[in-house]
Amino acid sequence: MIKLGRILSATITQVPSEKYFVSLNIEYKQKELPKNNKSIGLDLGITDMLIDSNGNKIPNLKTLYKYEQKLVKEQRKLSKKEKGSKNFHKRRIKVAKVHERITNKEKTIYIN
């Protein structure tokens, strides 16, 4: 059995797209990393999203454009619904899901 640490607290949150997430606050002892003198420079650009000083390039993905266009359409449809109605609530959830997709896509672009 691997003992990772001690759970201090857990928080359950609901996002507007009606999904639930759990955040754990954990206390653990971290091993010290070996020291080295290597450093790297990063450059954010337009044609390439990221270029480091070693010459590695991360291309600028245009996939967000599709979701932004979908968001415009969904928000336009939402604005035509009567506030408080069942159809307004359903459309609001669709808009929240598109926002969530955009957020997730941005996170995966920067992590990869």
Q: What is the largest CA-CA distance in the chain?
A: 61
Query: Does 75 map to a domain?
Result: yes
Q: Does some domain include residue 102?
A: yes
Print the domain residue range for 86.
Answer: 61-112
Q: Quickly tell me which residue has 């266009």 as its tokens.
A: 69
pLDDT tier at 58 (50, 70, 90 boundaries)?
A: confident
Average pLDDT of span 55-82: 89
Number of domains present in the structure of the chain: 1
Tell me: pLDDT of 44 over 80.
yes
Run of H or E residues at 20: strand 20-27
How much is the pLDDT for 3?
Answer: 65
Mean predicted confidence (pLDDT) in 72-97: 96
Query: Phi and psi (nearest 5°) for 57?
Result: -120, 140
